[in-house]
Structure 1
Amino acid sequence: MESQTNESLFEIVDELETQVFLEKLISVTAQYNWLLNAFMVDFFVDELYLRIPRCWQQLYMTVRVEDIIFLLSASTHTSSTRVWPLSLLALRSFISTHSLRRHPLVSVDTVCPLPAGRSSKGLSINHLEHVSPKKMHQIRILGSLVGRFFECSNMLVGGTVVDAGSGKGHLSRLLHEVYGLKVIAVDCNDAVVSRSRVIDLKRVNKKLSTDSPIVHLVQRLTKQGWLDSLSKSEPLALIGLHACGHLSEHLIREFVVSDRCKLLLSVGCCYMHLATEHQTWKPLSRRLQSLKTTASFGYAALDCACHSNERFISKLTDANKSSSLVVHSYRAALEWLLVCRLCFSRRSRLYPVREARLLSFAEYAEKATRNLNLNLNYSELENDLTVRWMLKQWPQVAFFYALRSLLAPLVESIILLDRALFLRENGSEVLLAPLFDPLVCARNLLLVGFKASPTACVPWKRPH
C-alpha cells in the first residue's frame, strides 16, 4: 500500500494495495462494531460489560491502571508483568502495525527538502496576538510546510493560498507576512470574517504587517465550484486546517473538481459529525462504496477516533490526573439512575462538571443535573446498594473505555485512507504524514493531495 522514508510517512502509490489494506482494516473493525458504537454512558443501562469476550473477563475483573497504560501504548516492545489473553495481544499488535503512525515529523525537511544551494526562510512573526499555544504550534508547522511547497514546486509559481475555514485568520497572516504568499482567507461566518479584517487593519496601523492586505471573503464552502471562482488564471493551494466534520470532505471534493487548484493540505477534525443518529459514516472512495460489507461507524465510534491516546496515557501516568478515570463510572451510574429509576430519556443533556474527579458522586450528580430540576437526596442515592456497586466498578468502566480507545486509531486510519484513495481514484498524488505533536493536537495527521502533470515531480521527498 505504501512505502516509507521512516515510520511517519505514508505515500499512497498503488490503488489496489491500498484497497486490500483498507478491506483488512474494515474486516477487523467489523468484529468490534458493537464496542466501537457503544456509548460509555450506557455501560450499566445496557449491561455492556456482559458483552466483553469471555477470554478477556479475568483481565477485566482485575484490571489495574498500569494494564490500561500497557494496552494503549503504541510500542509493542513495552512490557507487562501479568499474563494477557493472546487474542487481545494479537489485536493490540495488529492495531500497532496497521494504523497510521502518529509520531510527529522532526522538520519539514522530512517531507519536502529544499533544492541544493537554497536556504529556508526564517520563521518569525511580529506580535501575533491572541493565539493559543496549541494554535501557534499548528500554524507554525503547517505554515512552514506550505511555504516550502511553494518554494519547491514550479506548478505553484505565482499561486495563491486559499485558507478555507480561516476563522480569525492567524494561519493566513503567518503565510502572508512570513512567507510573502498571496492569501485568500475564506469563512462562512460573517462576524468572524469582519473580526479578521479588523485585526489586519490594526496590524497595518501598528506597522506589524505590510500594506498589501489579505483578502477575506464570506463564502459557503459546501457550494460546488466556489474555488475556481476565486482565480482567473493563477494556481491555487487549498488548506483546511481542522475543517470540521463534512467540511473536510467538501474541500476534498472541491479540490478534485477544480481546474485551478494544484495542492490540497487537509487536517481533519470532529469525525463524529460524519454520522447522524440514524445514518452511519459514508466512504468517499468508489472502492469502499462498492463493498458489500463496509465500515459501520456511528456517532460513538467516530467520536472515539477524535481523542488522543497519547494524551490519555499521559494523564494515566500522572497520579494527580489518573483519578479522573472514576468520572466515567460517575456518568454511567448517573445515566442508570436517570433512565432506570427516574424514567428519563436516554442521554439527556447534562451540565458539564469541572474537576469532577475531585467530587463525590453525590456532588457530581447534583451539579450535572441542575438543569433537570430534580428534587432528590443525592447523598441517599449515593448509598443505594446498586449505585455503590456501580461506583466500585470504576476500573472495569475504565477498561471498557480503554478497549474502545485501543480500536480508535483503526477508525481514523480507515477514514483518512478512504479520503486518500478517493484522491488517487481521481488522479492525484497523495501523501499522509503526522504533522503535529499528538500531545498538543489530538488530530495531527495531514492529508496532502497534488495534481502533478506528466512531466512534473511531486513537491515532496519520494519514499524509498
Structure 2
Amino acid sequence: MQPVCEKRRSPSWVVRSSCVQLSCGMSATPIREKACLYFAYGSNLLTARLRIGCPSAVKVDIAQLKDFRLDFNYFSRRWQGAAATIVGDRNSRVWGIVWKISQDDLAHLDEQEGVKKAIYRRFRVEVRNGSSFYSCWTYQLVRPLEDDRRPSTVYKSVIISGALENELPEDYVAQLRSISDNGYDGPVEEFFTEDHWGKVPEDWRQFLEAAEVDTVRNVIANSLIERSEDPNWNMEMPETLANFFVTCGNSSLPRNAVANLRDVDEIFSEVQPTEDNWICGTQLMTVSGGCRRHVKPKKQHEISRMAKVVSVVAKTTHSSVTDLGSGLGHLARILCNEYSLDVLGIEEQPRFTEQARIFDLESQSLGKEGEVSKLPEHVTFSVKPWTSGRSMLKEVGKENLRSTLCGLHTCGDLGPAVLRMFAETQEIVGLCSVACCYMKLSATGDFVGFPMCKRLSSENFSLSYEAKELACHALESFVNGKLVSGYERLKIHCYRAMLEKLLIQHDGQLKRIGVRGVKNAHLMDFSEYAHCAILKLDTINAEELNQLIHLNSDWLDAAAKNWKRVLLFYLLRLCIAPVIETVLLLDRMMFLFEQGDDLSKFFLRNHLIPRH
C-alpha cells in the first residue's frame, strides 16, 4: 500500500547567458489450453501471492530453467523497486515453481504482467527437475536493462519467502538473500507492527491526539505551504513541534505553482509579456484542435503548461526543440501546431515512435480545412544516464542542431543526465526538464544520480531510498486536497495496518502480502473490511480470521478508535518531503554552479522555483 498522498513531479529553473533551463508490444500468444503450466520465479513463488489473482493454481513441482539468470529491471510502483525478470546467460540457472493454472488465470496473469502494454512478454520455456521435464509459459521483461536494477526490500522478502515455502535449494536461497536491494521496507501497513506512533515524542503525541486534524492541517498549510504566521496556532503546542513545522518550512524551497512567465520575460527583454505567456496556477488548461485527441484532461493541462515554458525558452534562444522521451508525441505536436516550432521527438520504444507518427497524421487531418499543420520528427533512440548530448545528437543525425532540450518526466537518473548534457554540450542552448521518481537515482556505480555536486560527493553524503521516495510526494496536494475533501476516507490506511498485524500473527509468511482492494472501507467496521480484503487469500479463511479478531478484540477496538493516529503520523512524515526535495534540487544547482558559468542564477528567483 502506498503512503496516503499523491506523487508529484518537480521542475526547477536555471539560466546560462541567453539559455533557460526548467530542470525540474508484444501481444500474448492466444490461450487455447483449458489448463496450462506456468513457471514462476519472482513474487509468484509465494502461494498466497499467486492465488490472489490465480485461485486455480496448483503446485506441480519445483524446477530449474537453464541458460538464464535472475535479474531485475523496470521500476514497479507496486513494489517500489525493480521487478524480477530472466535474462539469457549461458551456464546460469533460475529456480522456480511449476504451477498448473486455468485459462482464465493465465489471461489474468497477462493483464497483471502488462503484456498488452509491452512491459512483459509471455513465451514458452523448457524447465526440469531431475528426470522430469515441463513445457511452461513464463514471463520476461521486454524493456532494456537499466543502470539501477535493485528490487525493494519488500519485494525481495516476498521472493525469499516463496523460495523457503517451496523448499528451493539452499544455495539458491542464499543467492537470493545476497541480492542488493534499495532498502525500501514498506510504508503504511507497518504502522502497528513497527510501533510508529511510539516513536513520536510523548508531548507531540499528547498534543496531536487532543487536536483536531483540521487544526494540524491549518498549521502545516500556513507554515510549510503559504509561509505565513497563523495567529490561531494553539499555544499549547510543544515548542519542539512548532519548531519542527517552522524548520521544515524554512528549510525547503517554495512549492507554490508558477503563476506566469513575466519573470522570464524580464530577463529576456526581446520576449514581451503577452496574454499568451500566462501559465495559470490553478485553472485547468486544455489542448486545442486535433492535438486533444488521445490525451486525458489532466495530461492536457500538464503538456499545455510545459509547452508554454518550452516555447518561450526556444524562441528566446532561437533554437529548435528536442523532446527527450517523447512517448506518443503529445507535447511535440502542441509545440509544432500551436507554437510553430521545429521539434524532434526522441523515444526509446519503437512502438511509441510509430504510434506517434500515426497520431501526427490524425491531428493533421482534424485541422482546419486548407490548413497544413506542422508535424514533429520522431526517431527511436535509447538515452542512457552516461549518454553525452553530442553523441545523442550525432546518433539521431542532428549533430549540429542548435536545440532546446525538453523532458517531461525525466525519471530517475535521466534528470541528472540531461543536466550534464546541457552543461557539457554547446549545441544544447536551453533545457526544460521536469524531474520525477527521485527514488530511482543511482547512488553507486559508474553513473551517480545523487549527489551530483563535488561538495556533497566529497563528504560521502547520501539519502536513503525511503527519503528519496518520500521527496516524490506532494505535501500541498495532500494537505489542500485529501484533507479538505473528507479525510474520513483515509481510515482504510489504519484498517490495512491493523490487518497486517493480524496476518503476521496468523502466519509470518504473510508479511506484506497483497490483499484485495476494498471500496468505501471507511463506511465499514474493521471486521467487514478484513473479510473483504482476504477474499482471495487461501492461506487464511473466514473462520480463522474471526478467531483472530475475537482474540485481539480489545486491541482492535482501541486501534480503530484511534485511527487518526495513522493519518497524523504520515502527515508529520510528509512535512519532511519538501526538505528532502530541496536537498536534491540544490545539489543540482550546485553542480551547475561548479561548471564555471552563471548557470545557477535563475534557480534562486523566488517566483520561478519548482512547481507544476
Report how far residue 345 of structure 1 moved.
Answer: 4.7
Structure 1 residues 238, 370: CA separation in 2 closer, same or farther (over 3 Å shift)? Answer: farther
What's the secondary structure of 2:486's corresponding residue? helix
Report how far residue 306 of structure 1 moved.
Answer: 1.9
The one-letter amino acid paired with 1:90 is N
Residue from 337, 344, 348 that aligns with 2:513: 348
Give the structure 1 partner of residue 269 of structure 2: 115
**Which is richer in helix?**
1
State the distance in 2 between where 1:195 and 1:435 align. Answer: 38
Alignment of 1:233-382 (within 5 A): 233-274=400-441, 282-292=450-460, 294-298=461-465, 300-315=466-481, 317-318=483-484, 321-373=486-538, 374-377=540-543, 378=545, 381-382=548-549
1:66-90 Cα deviation digits (max 9, x unpaired): 2330342123412333511111111
Structure 1 residues 254, 338: CA separation in 2 closer, same or farther (over 3 Å shift)? Answer: farther
1:345-398 Cα deviation digits (max 9, x unpaired): 532333444443334333433444444323134556555322222222212111
Give the structure 2 partner of residue 131 of structure 1: 295
Residue from 42, 45, 54 that aligns with 2:190: 42
What's the secondary structure of 1:248's corresponding residue? helix
> Mean alpha-carbon deviation: is it higher for 87-96 or for 116-125?
116-125
Residue from 81, 87, 92 that aligns with 2:240: 87
What's the secondary structure of 1:111's corresponding residue? helix
Q: Is the 8 A contact 2:263 2:607 kept in 1?
A: no
Residue from 315, 318, 321 that aligns with 1:151: 315
The one-letter amino acid paired with 2:464 is F
State the distance in 1 between where 2:199 and 2:15 align. Answer: 37
Structure 1 residues 196, 358: CA separation in 2 closer, same or farther (over 3 Å shift)? Answer: farther
Report how far residue 435 of structure 1 moved.
Answer: 9.0
Structure 1 residues 355, 196: CA separation in 2 closer, same or farther (over 3 Å shift)? Answer: farther
**Which is richer in strand?**
2
Give the structure 2 partner of residue 77 of structure 1: 229
Q: Is the 8 A contact 1:309 1:405 kept in 2?
A: yes
State the distance in 2 between where 1:249 and 1:269 align. Answer: 11
The one-letter amino acid paired with 2:501 is W
Whose Rg is larger?
2
Report how far residue 404 of structure 1 moved.
Answer: 0.4
State the distance in 1 between where 2:420 and 2:14 align. Answer: 20
> Mean alpha-carbon deviation: is it higher for 104-113 or for 393-402?
104-113
Residue from 589, 601, 609 that aligns with 1:420: 589
Report how far residue 176 of structure 1 moved.
Answer: 0.9
Give the structure 2 partner of residue 168 of structure 1: 328
> Mean alpha-carbon deviation: is it higher for 418-427 or for 74-83?
74-83
State the distance in 2 between where 1:405 and 1:187 align. Answer: 34
Quote the sequence identity (%).
26
Query: Does residue 52 of structure 1 match 2:212?
Result: no
Structure 1 residues 119, 100: CA separation in 2 closer, same or farther (over 3 Å shift)? Answer: closer
Q: For this pair of structures, how many residues does the alignment match?
A: 401
State the distance in 2 between where 1:389 and 1:88 align. Answer: 25
Report how far residue 409 of structure 1 moved.
Answer: 0.7
Report how far residue 427 of structure 1 moved.
Answer: 3.7
State the distance in 1 between where 2:488 and 2:191 align. Answer: 19
What's the secondary structure of 1:150's corresponding residue? helix
State the distance in 2 between where 1:143 and 1:192 align. Answer: 20
Structure 1 residues 146, 187: CA separation in 2 closer, same or farther (over 3 Å shift)? Answer: same
Residue from 368, 378, 384 that aligns with 1:216: 378
Structure 1 residues 305, 352: CA separation in 2 closer, same or farther (over 3 Å shift)? Answer: farther
The one-letter amino acid paired with 2:244 is L
1:237-290 Cα deviation digits (max 9, x unpaired): 1111122222222322333333421212111112233379xxx98312221111
Q: Is the 8 A contact 1:255 1:264 kept in 2?
A: yes
The one-letter amino acid paired with 1:288 is L
Report how far residue 423 of structure 1 moved.
Answer: 2.0
State the distance in 2 between where 1:328 and 1:56 align. Answer: 21
The one-letter amino acid paired with 1:110 is D
Give the structure 2 partner of residue 20 of structure 1: none
Give the structure 1 partner of residue 77 of structure 2: none
State the distance in 2 between where 1:234 and 1:12 align. Answer: 20
> Mean alpha-carbon deviation: is it higher for 360-369 or for 195-204?
360-369
Q: Is the 8 A contact 2:347 2:382 kept in 1?
A: yes
Q: Is the 8 A contact 1:244 1:271 kept in 2?
A: yes
Gaps of 5+ in 2: 1-10, 17-183, 278-286
Structure 1 residues 199, 139: CA separation in 2 closer, same or farther (over 3 Å shift)? Answer: same
Alignment of 1:427-446 (within 5 A): 427-428=596-597, 429-430=599-600, 431-432=602-603, 445=611
Q: Is the 8 A contact 1:233 1:260 kept in 2?
A: yes
State the distance in 2 between where 1:108 and 1:344 align. Answer: 55
The one-letter amino acid paired with 1:175 is L
Structure 1 residues 12, 195: CA separation in 2 closer, same or farther (over 3 Å shift)? Answer: closer
State the distance in 1 between where 2:264 and 2:419 align. Answer: 21
Structure 1 residues 357, 82: CA separation in 2 closer, same or farther (over 3 Å shift)? Answer: farther
List 4+ stretches of structure 1 deviating above 6 A.
8-13, 433-436
Give the structure 1 partner of residue 566 of structure 2: 397
State the distance in 1 between where 2:275 and 2:454 align. Answer: 41
Q: Superposition RMSD on alpha carbons, in Å?
A: 3.2
State the distance in 2 between where 1:93 and 1:371 align. Answer: 46
Q: Is the 8 A contact 1:246 1:274 kept in 2?
A: yes
State the distance in 2 between where 1:426 and 1:176 align. Answer: 33
> Mean alpha-carbon deviation: is it higher for 203-212 or for 396-405?
203-212
State the distance in 1 between where 2:596 and 2:455 align. Answer: 15
State the distance in 1 between where 2:14 and 2:373 align. Answer: 40
